[in-house]
Chains A and B, each alone.
Chain A
Amino acid sequence: GEDVEQSLFLSVREGDSSVINCTYTDSSSTYLYWYKQEPGAGLQLLTYIFSNMDMKQDQRLTVLLNKKDKHLSLRIADTQTGDSAIYFCAENNAGNMLTFGGGTRLMVKP
């Protein structure tokens, strides 16, 4: 079955770059997503990448996809305290439902 894995926790200093990693298993996924969840809130779609792309940049966010290794990463440049949240990667599966990773809690220290 599908299983998306992420590390649990990441701590960075304000102004540094953050890199959140994710591995997935469904090689037929056409899209991979990054969502952000702040305390008490739902999921906010941050960015996504089509499976035939290697990289996508969107302002401070850079997504890298290594399809051979089924590895996805999200880089946040110039990380701010407002970026503190839980970040979920997700892949779309057959039937187009999303399978999510367990989430990475990003803590940004001033």
Chain B
Amino acid sequence: KAGVTQTPRYLIKTRGQQVTLSCSPISGHRSVSWYQQTPGQGLQFLFEYFSETQRNKGNFPGRFSGRQFSNSRSEMNVSTLELGDSALYLCASRRTLRDDEKLFFGSGTQLSVL
């Protein structure tokens, strides 16, 4: 069974640009979550999608948005990029929203904003 797949693996952008990251969950998983990892702030929750609906959102500005498609694949968009958005963006999937469902992570997209 394939794991969580994130593309691209690396991205370099400049300030003010926008970026879209993609995540394909494990087959059969309907929930996709996004996390940001930085050396200073650690791992922080961005949002979670289930059945194409955002179910939970972390404390990030509106420049960070996401969506989920009917096949459970998800995209995350960051507009008007800032230097501080440089981070490893991790996607995770689980089968349902039950609290005993484990989260499985992809390898991440490393975003560098210059």
With an 8 A cutoff between CB atoms, is B15 at the interface? no
Partner of A42 from B45, B55, B97, B105 at Cβ < 8 Å:
B105
Judge if B25 is at the interface, Cβ distance under 8 Å. Answer: no
Please state if A100 and B42 are interface contacts (CB–CB under 8 Å).
Answer: yes
**Would you call B102 an interface residue if the criterion is a C-beta within 8 Å of the partner chain's C-beta atoms?**
yes
Which residues from chain B contact A95 at a C-beta distance below 8 Å? 48, 55-56
| Complex: chain A residue closest to B3, CB-CB | A42
Q: Mark B33-45, 1 if CB is under 8 A from A, else 0.
A: 1010000001101
Which of A10-18, A43-51, A73-81 forms part of the interface with chain B?
A43-51
Q: Which residue, B45, B97, B103, has most C-beta atoms of chain A within 10 A?
A: B103
B104 within 8 A of A: yes
Please judge, given known A-B contacts A43-B90, A88-B43, A103-B42, whether A98 and B103 are in contact too, CB under 8 Å: yes
Question: Which of A91-110 touch B at CB < 8 Å?
Answer: 92, 95-103
Chain B residues lying within 8 Å of A66, measured Cβ to Cβ, are: none
Complex CA distance for A90 and B42, rounded to whole angstroms: 12
Q: Which residues of chain B from 2 to 48 have a CB within 8 Å of any chain A CB?
A: 4, 6, 33, 35, 42-43, 45, 48
A42 lies within 8 A of B102 (CB): no
Residues on A facing B (Cβ under 8 Å) = 30-31, 33, 35, 40-45, 48, 50, 88, 90, 92, 95-103
